[in-house]
Structure 1
Amino acid sequence: MLITPTAGATDKIIRLTSGEFAPLMSVKIKHRGLISHIVEEAAALSGYRVHYSFFPWKRAYVMAKSGYWDGSVAWGYTEEREKYFAYSAPIFPEHVYLYHRKHYAFDWQEEADLEGIKLGVNRGYLDEYMLQQMQKRGLQINYQATTTELQNFRALIGGRVDIVISNRLIAERILRKHFDEQERGNIVRHSRPFRVTSLHVLISREIEQTDEYISAFNQGLERLHQSGRYDELITDFENGAYD
Structure 2
Amino acid sequence: MMNIDRKIYFSLFFSLFLGLCSTTAISEEDILQISIDQAYPPYMYTSNGNVMGLYPVLISAVFERMGYRAEAKGYPWKRALHLGEVGKSGIGGIYMNEERVKIYDYSDPLYDEELVVYVQKGKEFSFNDVADLRGKKVGLNYGWSYGDAIDRARESGVFVSDDSVRNNVANFKKLVGGRIDCFVVDELAARKIIAEQGLEDKVVRLDSAISINSGYLVFSKNRNDQELLADFNRTLQIMRDEHSYDELVDAIVNSN
Quickly name the TM-score band, shorter chain normalised: 0.7 to 0.9
Q: CA deviation at 1:16?
A: 1.1
2:78 corresponds to 1:58: yes
When the two structures are superposed, what TM-score results if normalisation uses the length of structure 2? 0.83
| Partners of 1:94 and 1:205 in 2: CA distance | 25
**SS of the counterpart of 2:223?**
coil
Report 1:46-125 matches (<5 A).
Answer: 46-69=66-89, 71-125=90-144
Distance 1:217 1:196 in 2: 23
Structure 2 vs 1, CA of residues 15 and 31 (structure 1 numbering), >3 Å: closer, same or farther? closer
Residue 94 of structure 1: SS of its match in structure 2?
Answer: strand
Q: Distance in 1 between matches of 2:175 and 2:124?
A: 14
Taking a change above 3 Å as real, the CA distance of residues 9 and 107 of structure 1, as seen in their structure-2 partners, is farther
Q: Please tell me whether the aligned partners of residues 120 and 143 of structure 1 are also in contact (alpha carbons under 8 angstroms).
A: yes
Work out the CA distance in 2 between the residues paired with 1:128 and 1:215: 24
After alignment, is 18-27 or 86-95 more displaced? 18-27
Q: 1:127 aligned to 134, 142, 146, which one? A: 146
Contact 2:43 2:93 survives alignment (8 Å):
no
Maintained 8 Å contact 1:121/1:128? no
Mark the CA change 1:154 to 1:129 in structure 2 (over 3 Å): closer, same or farther.
Answer: farther
2:254 paired residue number = 239
In the TM superposition, what is the alpha-carbon distance from 1:132 to its structure 2 partner?
A: 3.9
> 1:148-196 CA distances to partner (integer Å, 9 max, x unpaired)?
10000000111111101101111111111123xxx42121111210111
Distance 2:231 2:21 in 1: 19
Q: Equivalent residue of 2:208, what SS?
A: coil
Tell me: CA distance 1:128–1:84, structure 2 relative to 1, closer, same or farther (3 Å): closer
Secondary structure at 2:79's aligned position in 1?
helix
What amino acid maps onto 1:230 in structure 2? Y
Report the TM-score when normalising by structure 1. 0.88
CA RMSD of aligned residues (A): 2.2
**Aligned partner of 1:187 among 188, 193, 203:** 203
Deviations 1:209-228 (A, max 9, x none): x1132123112212221232
Distance 2:25 2:169 in 1: 40
Q: Which residue of 2 aligns with 1:143?
A: 161
Q: Structure 1 residues 228 and 143, CA, compared in 2 at 3 Å: closer, same or farther?
A: same
Deviations 1:79-117 (A, max 9, x none): 210111000011111111000012114111233311111
Residue pair 2:134, 2:159 contacting (<8 A) in 1 also? yes
* 2:178 is the counterpart of 1:162: no
**Identity %, equivalent residues:** 25
Mapping for residues 13-32 of structure 1, pairs under 5 Å: 13-19=31-37, 20-28=39-47, 32=52
Aligned to 1:201: 217
CA distance in 2, matches of 1:206, 1:50: 19
The unaligned stretches of length 5 or more in structure 1 are none
Count of equivalent residues: 233
> For 1:9-38, what per-residue CA distance to the aligned partner results, in whole angstroms no more than 9, with x for missing partners?
359421111112111111218761122111
Which piece of structure 1 moves more, 55-64 or 107-116? 107-116
Deviates more, 1:120-129 or 1:53-62: 120-129
For 2:8, the equivalent position in structure 1 comes to none
Pair 1:218-2:208 in alignment: no
